[in-house]
Structure 1
Amino acid sequence: MTRDWLSWHEDYDQPGSSLAARLVEVQGQVRAALDRAPAGAVRVVSACAGQGRDLIPVLASHPRRADVTARLVELDPRNAAIAEDTARAAGLTGVQVVVGDAASTDAYAGMVPAELVLLCGVFGNVSDADVRATVGHCAALCASGGTVIWTRHRREPDLVPAICDWFAAEGFAPVAVSTPAEKVGVVVHRHVGRPRPLPPGAVMFEFLPR
């Protein structure tokens, strides 16, 4: 059965839902990442960006909005259209919405290494091996000193501690890790190493069938 990713977004609008809680946490971390970004141009990439809810509402009211160039990659054209309309309504001319496969490294060509990388809603939908592979690619996606924000449920088996170890092995330091009790599974890492070249034509992950 194929999930309808347009209707999936409806839970964001349900008070008390896990997605609504996750969104609040992610947006707070996005705001904090923009606050600490160095002066000058700020590049942002968002994989599986959906309707752009993680980034666009924050950017719309953030004092660094004019500094930001962002690329949101989303496979579902309906969600991408909503993200595009929302960005345009907010006057965010630096936000580019691309209908394409967020798993392909080619989707980020010319935009990385970025100061902020969003991987929200990815790690809970792919195999453990693909999570590990994607973490490895984060060292190419993220600039030195940049931030990666990712999500993963904290249900058993809880992979979050292992993912944090994988990020550490790739030159990342933890900034914030939600606890299982918080039930939102939002984690932030800072790249303390040097970015690697992004390999062209690589596939970072594949969504598991539903």
Structure 2
Amino acid sequence: MTERDWVKWHDHHDEPGSSLERRLRTVRGWVATALDEGASRVVSLCAGQGRDLLPVLAAHPRRGEVRALLVELDEHNAAHARSIAPEGAEVVCGDAAVTQAYAGAVPADLVMVCGVFGNITDDDIRRTVATLPQLCAPGAMVIWTRARHEPDLVPAICSWFEDGGFERVAVEGTSYGVGVHRYTGPAVPLERDGRMFTFVS
């Protein structure tokens, strides 16, 4: 199977009315909400070109107070994100699945897991959700996405979050899914040698 071109994949976000364009608008709305609520530390897993976070952060009145870490494996996407990143946002070209990548940037107030759950196995989704408390400050918001094709895994993912110390804030979208959960548990130390997931073709 041919590996997906992750640079061209971002072009679909520019198609008016497409599911990815609608998903992007929804995610950006929740990013703005988190910043409005006072989020000051942000991490983004598999950040791509940073389109969901960086434009919102650059335009937000609190942008000078926010420190963001975006981790992206594709060097071309990372370079694009770096070119539009405002001051205080760091883009690292590296493996977002490895917990070591977030050392020094967590616990975060906003954790973004967008474009991940549709590209990993169900077991890896559960493992990632179980690991997220290590990235979250108490009260942190997690924004995640998963397409809602059959079989629709969104209800199960919500259950995995809620069984792991997260409270559901919202689930939006019919063809696309945007989930928002808030971490209600205690601070959990980062285990630096962990791996959350592996992308599948």
Aligned counterpart, 1:86? 84
- Is residue 167 of structure 2 the alignment partner of residue 205 of structure 1? no
Aligned ranges 1:60-71 → 2 under 5 Å:
60-71=58-69
Aligned ranges 1:4-153 → 2 under 5 Å:
4-37=5-38, 42-87=40-85, 92-153=86-147
SS at match of 2:24: helix
- In 2, are the aligned partners of 1:69 and 1:95 still within 8 Å (CA)? yes
- In 1, are the aligned partners of 2:67 and 2:88 still within 8 Å (CA)? yes
- Give the C-alpha shift of residue 169 in structure 1: 1.4
- Give the C-alpha shift of residue 198 in structure 1: 1.4
Task: Give the one of 157, 172, 187 matched to 1:195.
Answer: 187
SS at match of 1:193: coil
Q: Which runs of 5+ in 2 are unaligned?
A: none
Give a deviation string over 1:148-192, Cα, whole Å, max 9, x none: 000001111111111111111111101111153xx2200100111
AA matched with 1:156: E
- Residues in 1 aligned to 2:159 and 2:4: alpha-carbon distance in whole angstroms: 30
SS at match of 1:189: strand
- Residues in 1 aligned to 2:36 and 2:18: alpha-carbon distance in whole angstroms: 28
- Residues in 2 aligned to 1:203 and 1:138: alpha-carbon distance in whole angstroms: 11
AA matched with 1:54: D
AA matched with 1:5: W
AA matched with 1:29: W
- In 2, are the aligned partners of 1:37 and 1:146 still within 8 Å (CA)? no
- In 1, are the aligned partners of 2:23 and 2:173 still within 8 Å (CA)? no
The root-mean-square deviation of aligned C-alpha atoms, in Å, is 1.0
AA matched with 1:25: T
Between the two proteins, the alignment pairs up a number of residues equal to 200
- In 2, are the aligned partners of 1:45 and 1:116 still within 8 Å (CA)? yes
* CA shift in 2, pair 1:82/1:179, >3 Å: closer
- Give the C-alpha shift of residue 201 in structure 1: 1.5
- Residues in 2 aligned to 1:163 and 1:196: alpha-carbon distance in whole angstroms: 21
Runs of 4+ in 1 over 6 A off after TM superposition: none
- Residues in 1 aligned to 2:173 and 2:75: alpha-carbon distance in whole angstroms: 34
SS at match of 2:179: strand
- Residues in 1 aligned to 2:192 and 2:154: alpha-carbon distance in whole angstroms: 28
Task: Give the one of 162, 170, 191 matched to 2:164.
Answer: 170
AA matched with 1:189: H
AA matched with 1:11: H
